[in-house]
A and B are shown apart, each in its own frame.
Chain A
Amino acid sequence: MKQPLVLVLAAVVLLPLVVRHAIATEIWIFAIFGLGLNLLLGYTGLLSFGQATFFGSAAYVAGYLLKYYGIGIFTALGVGIGVGALSALVVGYLCVQRAGLYFIMLTFALNQLFYFIAYQWTSVTGGEDGMPGIPRPALLGIDFRQPLAYYVLVSALFLLSLWAMQRIVESPLGKILQAIRENEVRAEALGYNVPRFKLLAFVIGGAFSGFAGVLYAMLFGIVPLEAIGFVFSGNVVFATLIGGSGSLYGPIIGSLVFIWLSESVSVLWARWPLLLGVAFVIVVLFFRGGVVEAWSRIWRFSKRAS
């Protein structure tokens, strides 16, 4: 087995011993969300600032069905994947035709469209109060309302997602996406339909986001309005970048650091976004390349010192 995978498995086992089960669960959910973004950001070179659109839409739809129609866990997750992929298809269709800065701005603007729909459609989404009362249905006699049981389920699904993403990026499709990232014109010249492949990456990323969104709704028993807001879209970009978007494991390290920090600091101070903003600025100005690079720089430095 490869070394990074061993570390991830160790983290999955050890994390619930160190932090509260809810935070440990949230970390792996956010990591799934990050895996989906990183297919776009790291592998295809598409900076999407609207991933919360798919996360939130899936959470609302599956949450609604869980609450009022009593569907099972796996049906809800399937619905989440479907809604995430479908909303990504719609958003992606409009965005992939434009490149660069236009692309980024469009993903954000369409995120705002979904946000304002959720904000105003209070009879369904609950608007600013969110959609509370989302159950965690039992499965095969296992009561997932037990925090540890739910943690085990989520971490298993996270490992499954990691495996699936690894298969995707190592497949011919993954190689084509990386070719598009490296040189779009050349990929086009080789006969690949670049917009079509970008859209496909978008849909897959959306499916991962939707999957994570449903797990998130079941974790907290509520779909907060923030789940579809732009701050969430920004957080997942930030988490992926601090982990390092260059590798498959970047978003995993990123969400570990990000969720851990944000859950510890946000309970201490209500103006936590201020610190987050300062952190963004400092990281960008001084620690570009993320945790992985900062770590290797420190390691090299200490090796030279000894």
Chain B
Amino acid sequence: MNLLFGQILNGIATGMLYALMGLGLALITGILNIPNFAHGALFAVGAYLLVTVVGAIGNFWLGLLVAPLGVALLGIAIEYAGIRRLYAAGHDYQLLFTFGLALILNELIIVIWGPVGISHLPPAVLRGGVDLGFTFYPKYRLFVMAVAGLLVVLTWLFLERTRYGAIMRAGIENKEMVSLLGIDIHRLFTVAFALGAYLAGIAGALTAPIRGLSPGMGVDMLGIAFVVVALGGLGNLLGAIAAGLLIGVAQAVVAAYWTEASTAVIFAVMAAVLLVRPQGLFGIR
């Protein structure tokens, strides 16, 4: 029973990371209306940047601050130099472009950091565990839960309580109207992509000390982010969180009893939900 509780806690921690990925992807997909196949690669770049920064200056906190910002900058560059020219093109070309970017980033990771996985320790303060009464639980995972939770709340406050957040939500609903009201829609697209990339980057940076790094981590996460968006709905914050937690916990619980199936179960849960509710958990359409 304690194993189960421990696994549910693990599931909540990874589920929060999945929610961050899905939230960023839902923003990009909802506002820019493109299939972002580079979202997983941005996640991986965040993790590798963290390890590089921490290796160079030996400070985890600075790494956690800088790495996602680096990914956000990369996101701005991608939107500005490439995606901006493709809004009028079909989804097929947008897909090829982001898929091509994902291949490039993935191969560059192999060229720069090597094809072999890297393990990375959490900072000294967060090593070891805490006694929660029913189980002994790693401090770092509690930290991840707290940071991811904080980020979700901050994103929610930004979208719901600020002027620019309101414009962003309006952008998901009706782009023409937003641009007719005199709002710079191109800047809105850039900001949305940068924010989505930032969330992917910080999810990657937070993941590094839990699972370690490998060039394949981006693709694995891409599929999961798609599942979160398909279940949660575009631009639906609550949906992304619920879907992230659902598959995170499902994966962790299955992993305790049948390790081999723990990744496949994510997609199986999605298939099962879509069978009952084709529009996703909270979707209207």
| A and B co-occur in one complex | yes
- Residues of chain A having any CB pair with chain B under 8 Å: 41, 47, 49, 94, 97-98, 100-102, 104-106, 108-110, 112-113, 116-117, 120-121, 230, 234, 237-238, 241, 245, 271, 273-274, 276-281, 283-285, 288
A sample of 18 inter-chain contacts (CB < 8 A) reads A47-B95, A101-B34, A101-B91, A112-B267, A113-B268, A116-B264, A234-B96, A237-B95, A238-B96, A271-B111, A274-B108, A277-B101, A277-B102, A280-B97, A280-B103, A281-B100, A281-B104, A288-B93
Is the pair A110, B267 in contact by a Cβ cutoff of 8 Å? yes
Is the pair B230, A112 in contact by a Cβ cutoff of 8 Å? no
Whether A117 touches B264, Cβ cut-off 8 Å, given contacts A108-B223, A284-B86, is yes
Is the pair B95, A105 in contact by a Cβ cutoff of 8 Å? no
Which of B100, B106, B108, B278 is close to A284, meaning CB atoms less than 8 Å apart? B100
B219 close to A (CB within 8 Å): yes
Whether A285 touches B99, Cβ cut-off 8 Å, given contacts A41-B92, A101-B33, A101-B91, is no
Is the pair B100, A277 in contact by a Cβ cutoff of 8 Å? yes
B38-70 CB contact bits vs A (8 Å, 1 = yes)?
Answer: 000000000000000000000000000000000
B85 close to A (CB within 8 Å): yes
Set of chain B residues within 8 Å of A49, measured between Cβ atoms: 95
Is the pair A288, B101 in contact by a Cβ cutoff of 8 Å? no
- How far does the Cβ of A225 sit from chain B's closest Cβ, in whole Å? 12
Whether A113 touches B35, Cβ cut-off 8 Å, given contacts A97-B278, A98-B278, is no
Is the pair B264, A277 in contact by a Cβ cutoff of 8 Å? no
Which of A102, A120, A245, A278 is close to B100, meaning CB atoms less than 8 Å apart? A278
Set of chain A residues within 8 Å of B234, measured between Cβ atoms: 101
| Seed contacts A108-B37, A230-B219, A241-B93; 17 additional CB < 8 Å A-B pairs | A47-B91, A101-B33, A101-B34, A108-B226, A109-B230, A110-B271, A112-B267, A116-B264, A117-B264, A120-B263, A230-B223, A241-B96, A273-B107, A274-B104, A277-B106, A280-B96, A288-B89
SS class of chain B's interface: helix, strand, loop or mixed? helix
- How far does the Cβ of A29 sit from chain B's closest Cβ, in whole Å? 22
- How far does the Cβ of B249 sit from chain A's closest Cβ, in whole Å? 18
Is the pair B91, A277 in contact by a Cβ cutoff of 8 Å? no
- How far does the Cβ of A133 sit from chain B's closest Cβ, in whole Å? 23
Is the pair B264, A105 in contact by a Cβ cutoff of 8 Å? no
Is the pair B97, A281 in contact by a Cβ cutoff of 8 Å? yes
Is the pair A276, B103 in contact by a Cβ cutoff of 8 Å? yes
Set of chain B residues within 8 Å of A100, measured between Cβ atoms: 91
Cα–Cα, bound, A120→B254 (Å): 14
Set of chain A residues within 8 Å of B37, measured between Cβ atoms: 108
Set of chain A residues within 8 Å of B275, measured between Cβ atoms: 94
Cα–Cα, bound, A109→B264 (Å): 10
- How far does the Cβ of B103 sit from chain A's closest Cβ, in whole Å? 3
B229 close to A (CB within 8 Å): yes
- Residues of chain B having any CB pair with chain A under 8 Å: 29, 33-35, 37, 82, 85-86, 89, 91-97, 99-104, 106-108, 110-111, 219, 222-223, 226-227, 229-230, 234, 260-261, 263-264, 267-268, 270-271, 274-275, 278-279
Chain B residue nearest to A49 in the complex (CB): B95
Which of A105, A116, A271, A274 is close to B263, meaning CB atoms less than 8 Å apart? A116
Cα–Cα, bound, A42→B268 (Å): 29
Cα–Cα, bound, A101→B101 (Å): 18
Is the pair A280, B99 in contact by a Cβ cutoff of 8 Å? yes
Is the pair A47, B267 in contact by a Cβ cutoff of 8 Å? no
Cα–Cα, bound, A117→B79 (Å): 35
Is the pair B229, A105 in contact by a Cβ cutoff of 8 Å? yes
- How far does the Cβ of B230 sit from chain A's closest Cβ, in whole Å? 6
Whether A274 touches B107, Cβ cut-off 8 Å, given contacts A47-B92, A284-B93, is yes
Of B94, B227, B234, B261, most A-chain CB atoms within 10 Å: B227
Chain B residue nearest to A284 in the complex (CB): B97
Set of chain A residues within 8 Å of B103, measured between Cβ atoms: 273-274, 276-277, 280
Chain A residue nearest to B272 in the complex (CB): A94
Which of A104, A106, A237, A277 is close to B104, meaning CB atoms less than 8 Å apart? A277
Chain A residue nearest to B91 in the complex (CB): A47
Set of chain B residues within 8 Å of A277, measured between Cβ atoms: 99-104, 106-107
Is the pair A245, B92 in contact by a Cβ cutoff of 8 Å? yes
